[in-house]
């Protein structure tokens, strides 16, 4: 809905920003779609998630594409639910990484982002679904049993 305060959005609303470049990759113009789909950091995250979840490479042009991706995968009902959760968590984690860099000066470490996606995904899936006995070792090996 274009409500997140990216540099591009702020600039478009006539709020002065010193630089409109993406805080994560410092290359493209910072928009929500760039942070989630066009940024080099996001591309590495999506590549890892696609390998981990055993789905075709993840490409999207917008956040909407990402959030609807689970509908077109050849996964079972439970796996689609988990995959949708993983994508949602990944979007949140990319946004969080951007904010940590902007407001705290924290370096962007892709391994940390991916680790958080796996950890939060595990907790979400285990405690918000019927799979209470899911083991961390199985989740890390591959998301879809």
Report yes or no on 27 lying in a domain.
yes
Q: Report helix angle 77-104 to 40-52, nearest 10.
A: 150
Ramachandran region, residue 48 (left: φ > 0; alpha: ψ -120 to 50; beta: rest) = alpha
| Per-residue model confidence (pLDDT) at position 11 | 82
Q: State the pLDDT at residue 6.
A: 86
> Is the CB of residue 1 less than 8 Å from the CB of residue 25?
no
Domain count, the chain: 1
| Structural domain includes residue 2 | no
pTM of the entire structure?
Answer: 0.90
| Per-residue confidence in pLDDT tens, the chain, 145 aa | 677 888 888 888 888 888 889 999 999 899 999 999 999 999 999 999 999 999 999 999 999 999 999 999 998 888 898 999 999 999 999 999 999 999 999 999 999 999 999 999 999 999 988 888 888 988 887 656 4
| Structural domain boundaries enclosing 123 | 7-141
The predicted pLDDT at position 22 comes to 94
In a domain, residue 111? The reply is: yes
Whole-number pLDDT of residue 9? 83
Domain membership of residue 76 (yes or no) is yes
DSSP 54: T
User: Which of 91, 117, 112, 1 is CA-nearest to residue 37?
Assistant: 91
The answer to whether position 1 is within a domain reads no
- Let me know if residue 124 belongs to a domain: yes
């Amino acid at each position: 809905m274009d409500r997140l305060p990216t540099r591009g959005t702020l600039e478009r609303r006539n709020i002065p920003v010193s630089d409109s470049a993406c805080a994560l990759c410092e290359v493209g113009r910072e928009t929500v779609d760039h942070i989630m789909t066009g940024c080099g950091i996001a591309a590495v995250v999506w590549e890892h998630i696609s390998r981990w979840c055993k789905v075709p490479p993840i490409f999207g042009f917008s956040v909407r594409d990402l959030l609807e991706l689970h509908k077109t995968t050849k996964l079972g009902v439970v796996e689609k639910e988990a995959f949708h959760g993983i994508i949602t968590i990944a979007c949140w984690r990319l946004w969080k990484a951007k904010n940590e860099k902007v407001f705290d000066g924290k370096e962007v470490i892709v391994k940390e982002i991916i680790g958080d996606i796996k950890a939060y995904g595990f907790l979400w899936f285990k405690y918000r679904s019927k799979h209470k006995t899911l083991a961390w070792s199985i989740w890390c090996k591959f998301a879809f049993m």
